[in-house]
Amino acid sequence: SYVLTQPPSVSVAPGTTANIPCGGNNFGSKSVSWYQQKPGQAPVLVMYFDSDRPSGIPERFSGSISGNTATLTISRVEAGDEADYFCQVWDSTGDLYFFGPGTKLTVL
Amino acid sequence: QVQLQESGPRLVKPSQTLSLTCTVSGGSTNSGGFYWSWLRQPAGKGLEWIGRFFASGTTNFNPSLESRVTISVDTSKNQFFLNLSSVTAADTAVYYCASRSGDPSFFDYWGQGALVTVSS
């Protein structure tokens, strides 16, 4: 099993930067993906391969990895960014998928 | 653009089998390189991957559910299916089907989800 950790909540003011961390081991051997989920909706992929954005995702969204922490960064946060954000990794060795518990982003 | 739609009974009795169908449009379950997955999310909780079917016929499952899960495909109807046996209240969740073409490390297309309640 592979454990990912995320803080339950992050709060930021509009127009500022939100950093949402995801802790795990050996990120170097795995790729991290991120999903945004608004209430009552399905998750939406916002980042893959650690730092690649799908088409249609604003450039304000970026991803990075440093050591044992992957981070989703949202610049110039807008009210519409308020959502739950989940990190996810794929263990290619066991061909298994793991999700973090999610972080609720609140825009103050 | 692949579109996915879950369907099936929304209320299942304990000890029975949960059965869901995912209907695919904009893509083919018979196409090579596609991965077809099921995931679930209990109310207020995180996402859990259940299992996956690859167009080659290979299936992979979450070890915690493997003994109770079957995933199959009907390419003639462009549908894939989830069966989860011996359900309990702990299996109550929103169930999603999802897909990916190419590198399997993430899910780029999702169904809208189906809330399935296990209750007598």
For A61-107, write each residue's pLDDT tens digit. 999 999 999 999 999 999 999 999 999 999 888 889 999 999 999 99
Written as six digits, the tokens of B45 are 């909780």
Residue A45 touches partner B, C-beta closer than 8 Å: yes
Closest by CA to A54, choosing from B83, B24, B1, B62, is: B1
> With contact defined as beta carbons under 8 Å apart, do B12 and B87 qualify?
yes
| Residue B89, min C-alpha distance to chain A (Å) | 20
Facing residue for B108 by CB, picked from A54, A95, A101: A54
Q: Residue B51: phi, psi to the nearest 5?
A: 175, 175
DSSP symbols for B61-117:
E-TTTGGGEEEEEETTTTEEEEEE-S--GGG-EEEEEEEEESSTTS--EE---EEEE
Residue A31 touches partner B, C-beta closer than 8 Å: yes
For A28-67, write each residue's pLDDT tens digit. 778 899 999 999 999 999 999 999 999 999 999 999 999 9
Chain B residues contacting A via beta carbons under 8 Å: 37, 45-49, 60, 62-63, 96, 103-108, 110-113
Closest by CA to A68, choosing from A39, A97, A27, A101, is: A27
Q: Residue A80: phi, psi to the nearest 5?
A: -70, -10
pLDDT of B115 over the 80 cut: yes
For A5-34, write each residue's pLDDT tens digit. 999 999 999 999 999 999 998 887 788 999
Q: Say whether A81 sits in a helix, a strand or coil.
A: helix
| Residue A45, min C-alpha distance to chain B (Å) | 6
| Residue A85, min C-alpha distance to chain B (Å) | 10
Q: Which residues contact A49 (CB under 8 A, 6 or more apart)?
A: A31, A33, B103, B105
Question: In angstroms, rounded to a whole number, what is the distance separating the alpha carbons of residues B44 and A71?
Answer: 23
Specify the pLDDT at position B32: 77
Residue A8 touches partner B, C-beta closer than 8 Å: no
